[in-house]
Amino acid sequence: MPPQPPKLLDQVRAALRTQHYPAHAEEATIAWITRFILFHNKRHPNVLTASDVITFLDSLTDVAERSQARLAILFLYG
C-alpha cells in the first residue's frame, strides 16, 4: 500500500515553516484555517467557493479577527 499523502494542515504547517514564519504566527494560521474548515462542517477547502469564504469572514464581528482570518485563508489558497 503506498504511503498516504500528508494531511492538509500538515502541508500548511510545512509551507509555513519553509517560509520561516514564527511559531506564534504558524499556530495562529493553523487555528484560523481549522476554524474555517469547522465552520463549513469539515468540508475540504478544495470544494469551498469564494462565497463560502465571504460567509465565514462575514460571520466574524471583530475587525482584527476578520483580518487575521483573511490572511490565513489567503495563505491557504495561495
Query: Digits of tens for pLDDT over the chain (78 positions)?
Result: 888 989 999 999 999 999 999 999 999 999 999 999 999 999 999 999 999 999 999 999 999 999 999 999 999 999
What gap in Å lies between CA 18 and CA 16, rounded to an integer? 5
The domain 8-77 is placed in CATH, from the list 1.20.1370.10, 3.90.226.10, 1.10.10.1100, 1.10.150.130, at 1.10.150.130
The structure's pTM equals 0.93
